[in-house]
Structure 1
Amino acid sequence: MPDNNGQKGEDALPRLLGWLEQDPENTALLSDAIEAAIASGELDAAERLGERYAQIETPPPAIRNLFGIIAIQQGKHEKAAERFQQLIQDGHNNPDIRFNLAWSYAVLNKGDDALEMINTETAEQLPQAAALRVRLMHSAGHFDKAMEEAKMLADIHPEDPGLMAAISVLALDVEDIDLARKAAAKAETIPDAITTLGTLALADSDPSSALEHFNTALEQQPENPRAWLGRGMAEMVRGNNSKAASDIDKGAEIFGDHLGSWIAAGWAYFVQGDYQTSRARFETAMAVDPTFAESQGSLAVINVVEGNMEEAVKLCETALRLDRQCFSAALAKSLIERSKGNEAAADRIVKIAMNTPIDANGRTMGEALMSMNTGIKNAPKS
């Protein structure tokens, strides 16, 4: 999509409209006026000018592309997709139009269609297409392939902040911390990169710096789910559990089907003693994917706390079948042992659970739970 220089459009549009009053069928003036209207955010005016153009003559591909951009900026993404599709069907298959169609598909949650439009060749030609391709591959779960292409595209567009921001997020998820840090440093004004820097600060045990980054990211992009989750985790480390739960909840809601977010939200409420809401968040994760061990194990913990021991045992066994290293299942098992009066076995299981590394920096769940002010016995100091 083209840059939206509003001031330039505001200055130019009235002048162009005045000239069009004198020469109403001048398509060159109409073309300039459409661009000026888009730049100034006068989208309805841009649409009307486009209709005037079409009444005079068949618009060329560049003007038809502008019609699609108008639809995007109006939030009419289905309409935009139709316009770009027609252009491509008519043989105008250039990178800019492919990117615009891919953008429309991405907004419509048609990730596979978007990826098909942004092939490697298109990504090599346009840095904005490279950034979108990396994000789409990452979102689709193609981590290895996404990283392979990200490194190749970074060599082609080494200074593009959008691409670097996308790479920083991908690198975090594949636990390439060095690459995440380097990529984010090249895109430190982009919300995704700012969020990456916040996540790194949190991993470096600097929650104050992390909060600054997450707040900055959210000021620029209020619907950034990673920033909400990160801010929630930073608040949790600082002991502000109520704020933490609210922020993590917000991130989970925006993500929608991101299992880890719902699990994190459930634990955020758990540490406050709000077991009803905690259960609801774990059940949401279970509904998304019942084969995810932490969903089963987390619900097992809730059932132990609520005294539903038979159901707790069943869920715990299922979780451990799915993943022998499942933290929440180990914690549930320890609580079940405690309920039988078998303190020695329970303490041993808790120690194993608390000392299991949970991230790329070797931080243990015990350290995380201590930071949450849970006071669980045998949790090592962070």
Structure 2
Amino acid sequence: MDALAQLEKMEGYLAQDPGNFELLARVIDLALEAQQWQRALTHTEAAVKQFPDDPYMRYRRGHALFALQQYAEAEAAFASVDDHNINLSISLAIAQQAQGKHQETVDTLLPWEDAPDLPAHGLLALLRSMHHVAQLEEAMAIFHTHQARMMQEASVLSAVSLILLDLNQIEEAGRMSEAALALGPRPLEALLTSGTLALGFATPDIAVELFNEVLTLQPKEGRSWAGLGMASMLKRDMHGAIAQLEKAAQYLPTHIGTLHTLAWCKIFIGDIAGAGQVFEQALALDRNFGESHGGIAVVAALRGEREVAQAAIERALRLDRQGLAARYAEMVLSGVTADPERFRALAFRIMSKHPSSFGNNLAEVVQRFDVH
């Protein structure tokens, strides 16, 4: 008899004896096993009313709420359980992570960082949230504590590969992504890492295959859209790059490097007004970033707005004396550059200063462009 059939049978018994704790617990477990989430929640709500101090019922209620994607309510349910154990902490942390509360996730799981029985899904949640809050070296130290028993866990190796990529440990990132993919599953982070490395080796066709595979798993993965945009740039398909980078910016709206790359692509095709709008968007995120002011200066210079351009150049250079965009704007104003290839070469070098949205090796990608 499958779980659903057993559930229906046990629910009949429960209707005759609703106060039976063991029977109610069995019905809840069967409902969860049969993925009858709403029925599980209904039974756990009744259980919590009948047995308000029982941690088991509160814990099961949290799982039913989580399955129904009611993450805040699930977090509250798990937090209400007065029991300090590793499984409860992991459940609480995963509910926090589902809401984007990454620092809270880290705080919940760090007490278990050295636990020899920390399961793979708990370590994975901790590593991913540490990645989100930029605790990359700390995440790697924790991984090394558990590495020996995690080498068959594709999801963990996959997450680690992307952390290594963002630490610019390129060879290690490649080895870890290969190890993850060799285990059979095709986890998202490993595909992102391998795709980014394929870009770094100027093999855009391979990169495109990998990024597209990511998008079949997660269509809103901004780093994959950014990777496709860079691959299109490698092929000199600026219109394709713009479409893909616009998608990336949609899902990574606060990533300034993506916005700058998009703006320069628009300049490449002569969409000066569009480039200006994107640079303004980047500037609104951080008014102290010199290259955003430099981009505004380039747009103004190309429009012939000398006073606006000069003011933006001055602001850019106050913030960054080495700002390439501001220097190029000066060249436009002086009339010494009208060579499109020279312009592209400088623009690519400007973009190489920004960390990419899919790893920190955009400079290495740009260095492989056939421009000088």
TM-score (ref. length: structure 1): 0.82
What SS does the corresponding residue of 1:119 show, helix, strand or coil? helix
User: Does 2:135 match 1:142?
Assistant: yes
Determine the C-alpha separation between the residues in 2 that align with 1:355 and 1:245: 18
1:220 to partner: Cα distance: 0.9
User: Does 2:331 match 1:334?
Assistant: yes
**Cα offsets for 1:288-339 (capped at 9, x unmatched):** 111222222222221212222222222223323333443333332332332x
User: Could you say which residue in structure 1 is the equivalent of 2:75?
Assistant: 81
What SS does the corresponding residue of 2:100 show, helix, strand or coil? coil
CA contact (8 A) 1:198 1:213 kept: yes
The 3 A distance-change label for structure 1 pair 96 and 211 is: same
The 3 A distance-change label for structure 1 pair 289 and 151 is: farther
User: Does 2:269 match 1:275?
Assistant: no
**Cα offsets for 1:84-131 (capped at 9, x unmatched):** 1111xx2x1212221222222223333322221010524741322222
* The one of 115, 120, 124 aligned to 2:106: 115
User: Could you say which residue in structure 2 is the equivalent of 1:167?
Assistant: 160
Between 170-179 and 126-135, the greater mean CA deviation after superposition? 126-135
| Structure 2 residue ranges without an equivalent (≥5) | 354-359
User: Does 2:224 match 1:227?
Assistant: yes
The 3 A distance-change label for structure 1 pair 38 and 224 is: farther
User: Could you say which residue in structure 2 is the equivalent of 1:192?
Assistant: 189
CA contact (8 A) 2:62 2:78 kept: yes
1:39 to partner: Cα distance: 4.3
What SS does the corresponding residue of 1:172 show, helix, strand or coil? helix
1:175 to partner: Cα distance: 0.8
The 3 A distance-change label for structure 1 pair 366 and 95 is: closer
User: Could you say which residue in structure 2 is the equivalent of 1:13?
Assistant: 4
Determine the C-alpha separation between the residues in 2 that align with 1:241 and 1:136: 34
The 3 A distance-change label for structure 1 pair 69 and 306 is: farther
The 3 A distance-change label for structure 1 pair 239 and 150 is: same
User: Could you say which residue in structure 1 is the equivalent of 2:356?
Assistant: none
User: Could you say which residue in structure 2 is the equivalent of 1:54?
Assistant: 48
CA contact (8 A) 2:48 2:54 kept: no
**Cα offsets for 1:56-90 (capped at 9, x unmatched):** 53474344222112222222221111111111xx2
1:204 to partner: Cα distance: 1.1
* Residue correspondences, number: 355
Between 219-228 and 358-367, the greater mean CA deviation after superposition? 358-367
Determine the C-alpha separation between the residues in 1 that align with 2:188 and 2:263: 26
User: Could you say which residue in structure 1 is the equivalent of 2:94?
Assistant: 103
The 3 A distance-change label for structure 1 pair 347 and 15 is: closer
CA contact (8 A) 2:6 2:30 kept: no
The 3 A distance-change label for structure 1 pair 56 and 261 is: same
Give the residue type in structure 1 aligned to 2:150: H
1:355 to partner: Cα distance: 6.1
1:200 to partner: Cα distance: 0.8
CA contact (8 A) 2:114 2:142 kept: no
CA contact (8 A) 1:229 1:247 kept: yes
**Cα offsets for 1:222-270 (capped at 9, x unmatched):** 2212111112211222233333222222222222322212222222333
The alignment's C-alpha RMSD in Å is 3.0
Q: How does 1:201-220 map to 2 (within 5 A)?
A: 201-220=198-217
CA contact (8 A) 1:331 1:350 kept: no
What SS does the corresponding residue of 1:187 show, helix, strand or coil? helix
CA contact (8 A) 1:95 1:122 kept: no
What SS does the corresponding residue of 2:80 show, helix, strand or coil? helix
CA contact (8 A) 1:330 1:349 kept: no
Determine the C-alpha separation between the residues in 2 that align with 1:165 and 1:69: 26
Q: Name the % identity.
A: 25
1:361 to partner: Cα distance: 8.1
User: Does 2:302 match 1:311?
Assistant: no
CA contact (8 A) 2:103 2:130 kept: no
TM-score (ref. length: structure 2): 0.83
Determine the C-alpha separation between the residues in 1 that align with 2:91 and 2:58: 12
Between 229-238 and 120-129, the greater mean CA deviation after superposition? 120-129
User: Could you say which residue in structure 1 is the equivalent of 2:357?
Assistant: none
User: Could you say which residue in structure 1 is the equivalent of 2:125?
Assistant: 132
